[in-house]
Structure 1
Amino acid sequence: MVLSVFSVLLLAALIVPLIIPIPPLEDTVPPRELADPDSQFVEIDDLDVHYKEMGEGDPTLMLLHGFAASTFSWREVMEPLAETQRVVAFDRPAFGLTERPMPGAWEGQNPYGADAAADLTIGLMDELGIDQSVLVGNSAGGTVALYTALRYPERVKALVLVDPAIYSGGGSSGWLRSILTSPQGRRLGPLFARAIQGWGYEFGKSAWHDPAKFTDEIWAGFSKPLQAENWDRALWEFTQASRPLGLPERLDELSVPVLVITGDDDRIIPTEQSVRLAGEIPNAELVVIPNCGHVPQEECPQAFLAAVHDFLSNLE
C-alpha cells in the first residue's frame, strides 16, 4: 500500500509539471525598443549586443555588470571614468538589452555559459578595435572578468574586481543541475525566474549598506529589462548554464595587476571573501570602502573612483 502511494506521488511529480499551463509574458517588447539615447548595438557571433561607450584614452576600461544587473549599474561612474579613459559597458545575454537567444536558436557553445561570456567580452573588444583592456567586474561580473583574464591573458592589461563572486556561487551542484535541466525543470523554470519581480526589490536593497539609498527610481532602472521579450526563459537558461569554474584554485596563474575593491558591509558577497581573495592573488591591491555595501560603484562612487584612478595611475 505504501509503495503504491509512493508510486502515484512519484508519477504525479514527473507528469504534473509537464502539463501545467505556462501563461505567456504580457507587455514585453524586443530589447531594442527599450534602448536609452546613448545605447548602441553591435552583432557579435550572431548575437545583438547592447553596449555604451564614452571617452578616449588608454587603457580602455571594459565594465562588466553583476547578476540581474546591466549597463545601468555603472551610471554613477561611467562619465567620470571617461574623463581620462575610453570606457565601454555592455550587457551579457540574459541581462540588460542584449539579445536573449532561445533554445534551438544557436549552434555550438551555450551563449549563457561562462565560456561564451568570456568570448563575448573579447569579441566586443575585437569589434571595437581594442587590443588590450582593463576589465572592471562587479559581483558575477568579477567572476567573468577573472575567467576572461585566465582564458585570454594576452588581452587583459589589469583587473579591477569589485565585490567579486569568486568563492560564492559559480553554478549549481551536479544533482541540482540534473533537476534544473530535466524536462520538468525546463518547463517550470520560467515561472521560477518570474519570481524575481517579487523578491528583486528587497534583494536590491540588501546590496546597499544604507537600504534607503535604493530608491524606486533605481529599482525602475534595474527592472526595466524585465520588459524585454523572453527575459524569463533567458534567465532560466542562464541559471541552467552556470557551473563551478574552479577559479580559487587558479589564482596563482594571474600575471596582471589586480585591484580588489569591496564595501565593508557587503551582505551578498561577504567582505571577508574579498579580503581573502586579495590575499590569495599574487601582489593584488585591496581597498575596503567604509559604510558601503555590495555595489561601491553605485553607493560610494567617489571612493570607488578614487581607488580606480590611483590603481590606473600606477599601471605601466
Structure 2
Amino acid sequence: MRTFLRILLSLLILVVLLGLLTIAVGPFIVSPSPAPGVTDAELVAAPESRFIALPTGADEPQEFHFIARLDEETPGPAFMLLHGFTFNLFTWSQLLDLFAQYGRVVAYDQLPYGLSAKRVPEIAQQSSDIYSKAAALEQLFALADALELEQLILVGNSSGGTLALEAALAAPERVSGLILIAPWVYSKRPMLPDWLVGLPQMQRVSLGLARYLGRNSPLLDYSYADTAKIDEERRALTGAHRLMAGWDLAWGALLQRSLTDPVTIAERLGEIEQPVLVLTGDADQIVPVSDTQATADALPNATLVQLPGCGHLPQEECPDQVEAAISSWLETQRPGTGPTP
C-alpha cells in the first residue's frame, strides 16, 4: 500500500510539474514574427482616405487614418465618429452622408486599428502610454484641434461609446452632445495584476488572442442579428488592418495594455449633463439590452431608442433605423442642428 501511495504521489507531482511547464513554456509556441503587409497605409487606402500625424501620449507622433466631410458652409456642430473594439472607421460608411447634412463630420481609426499606425512599443511601459485611456482621449482632441473642430457631438459604438463618455467628462466644454450605440459601460473584461501582465508568457498569450480576433473578425458575426447581411465587401472593410504589416503585434500590445486598464465610466455617468441619444439593437449579443437601458437610466439627460431586429452594429446592419432615430433626435436639439436645405 505504501509503495502504491508513493507511486501515486510521484505521478501527481509529475502532473503538476507538467502543468506548470505547459503554463510557463506553452505560450512561447506563439510566434513573435509580425504579420506581412504594407508599411505605407496610403498604398492600400480608400479614395476618401486622409492621413495625419498626431501625438500619442508619451510616444512620438503617429499617423492616423481618417475620412471627413468638412464643408465650411454647413452650419451646426461637428460630429466625431468613434468605432468599437476590433472595428474601424468603415463601420460608419453608411451614415457619413446623414451626419454631413447636419454639420462637419470626421471618422477615424483609433490606434492601432484600420489603417492607422501599427506601433509596437519596444518596452512594456511604452505600451501603457500609447494605448492607454488617457492617450486615446489626447488623440481624439488632437485630431479635433488639427481639423479646427471646436464643438463636438461624439458618436460612439461599443467601446467607442465608452471613449465618448470619457471625453465628455474630460472636456465638457468641448462636447455638446453624445450619440451612443450599445455603449460598453457595464460589461466587464478580465483585469490582471501588473506583474502577471508583464510576464513574457502573457505577451505571447495577448498576441495569440490578437491574431484570433484580427484574422477572421469573429466579433463581426456575433455583432449582427442576421449574419446573412454581412457581404464580402463588409468583411473586407472590417479586416482592413490585415493589409498592413505588423498589425498583429500592435493589436497584441493593445490587448496587453487593456488587461490593466479597467472600464470605470459607470461610476460617473451621473456627472454627464449633455443631451445623449442611446441606441440599442434588441438582438445585441455583445452588450445586453439591459446594460444599455441601465446606461440610459443613469445619464441625467438621455433618450433611449430600441431598434428591432438589430444586433451590436446597427449602423451597419440597420442603417435606415439608425438614421431615422438620429435625425429625429437631432431635430429636437437646440437651433442650428437641422439639416441644410
TM-score by length of 1: 0.91
Contact preservation (8 Å) 1:263, 1:289? yes
**Partner in structure 2 of residue 181 of structure 1:** 198
1:119 aligns with 2:151: no
Of 55-64 and 190-199, the range deviating more from structure 2 = 190-199
* TM-superposed deviation, 1:153: 1.3
* TM-superposed deviation, 1:193: 1.5
One-letter identity of the residue aligned with 1:13? I
1:207-222 aligned within 5 A: 207-222=223-238
**Partner in structure 2 of residue 193 of structure 1:** 210
Of 298-307 and 133-142, the range deviating more from structure 2 = 298-307
Compared CA separation, residues 224 and 20, structure 1 to 2 (3 A): closer
State the distance in 2 between where 1:47 and 1:157 align: 28
Pick the aligned partner of 1:40 from 40, 46, 50: 50
**Partner in structure 2 of residue 160 of structure 1:** 179
State the distance in 1 between where 2:130 and 2:190 align: 17
* TM-superposed deviation, 1:20: 6.1
1:136 aligns with 2:152: no
**Partner in structure 1 of residue 170 of structure 2:** 151
State the distance in 2 between where 1:276 and 1:241 align: 27
Which secondary structure does the structure 2 equivalent of 1:194 belong to? helix
One-letter identity of the residue aligned with 2:41? P
State the distance in 2 between where 1:273 and 1:13 align: 35
State the distance in 1 between where 2:316 and 2:293 align: 20
* TM-superposed deviation, 1:180: 3.9
* TM-superposed deviation, 1:146: 0.6
1:90 aligns with 2:108: yes
1:235 aligns with 2:251: yes
**Partner in structure 2 of residue 52 of structure 1:** 67
State the distance in 2 between where 1:282 and 1:20 align: 47
Compared CA separation, residues 236 and 252, structure 1 to 2 (3 A): same
* TM-superposed deviation, 1:87: 0.7
* TM-superposed deviation, 1:210: 1.6
State the distance in 2 between where 1:181 and 1:229 align: 24
State the distance in 1 between where 2:29 and 2:234 align: 38
Contact preservation (8 Å) 1:180, 1:189? no
One-letter identity of the residue aligned with 1:251? L
1:268 aligns with 2:286: yes
State the distance in 2 between where 1:10 and 1:263 align: 44
State the distance in 2 between where 1:197 and 1:133 align: 31
Q: How many residues align?
A: 313
RMSD of Structure 2 on Structure 1 (CA): 2.3
State the distance in 1 between where 2:120 and 2:34 align: 15
For residues 57-108 of structure 1, give each alpha carbon's deviation from its aligned partner in whole angstroms, at most 9, with x where no partner exists: 3200000001111110001010222123111101100211111211138969
For residues 200-240 of structure 1, give each alpha carbon's deviation from its aligned partner in whole angstroms, at most 9, with x where no partner exists: 2x431221122110112210111121121211111111112
**Partner in structure 1 of residue 267 of structure 2:** 249
One-letter identity of the residue aligned with 1:181? G
1:6 aligns with 2:20: no
Which secondary structure does the structure 2 equivalent of 1:195 belong to? helix
**Partner in structure 1 of residue 36 of structure 2:** 26
Contact preservation (8 Å) 1:31, 1:225? no
Compared CA separation, residues 216 and 138, structure 1 to 2 (3 A): same
Contact preservation (8 Å) 2:89, 2:114? yes
One-letter identity of the residue aligned with 1:280? A
**Partner in structure 1 of residue 80 of structure 2:** 62
Contact preservation (8 Å) 2:92, 2:107? yes
Compared CA separation, residues 314 and 270, structure 1 to 2 (3 A): same
One-letter identity of the residue aligned with 2:222? S
* TM-superposed deviation, 1:245: 2.9
Of 100-109 and 180-189, the range deviating more from structure 2 = 100-109
1:75 aligns with 2:93: yes
* TM-superposed deviation, 1:190: 2.2
State the distance in 2 between where 1:20 and 1:121 align: 33
Compared CA separation, residues 130 and 290, structure 1 to 2 (3 A): same
* TM-superposed deviation, 1:130: 1.2
State the distance in 1 between where 2:98 and 2:152 align: 18
One-letter identity of the residue aligned with 2:185? I
Structure 2: state its 5+ residue gaps. 1-9, 56-60, 335-341
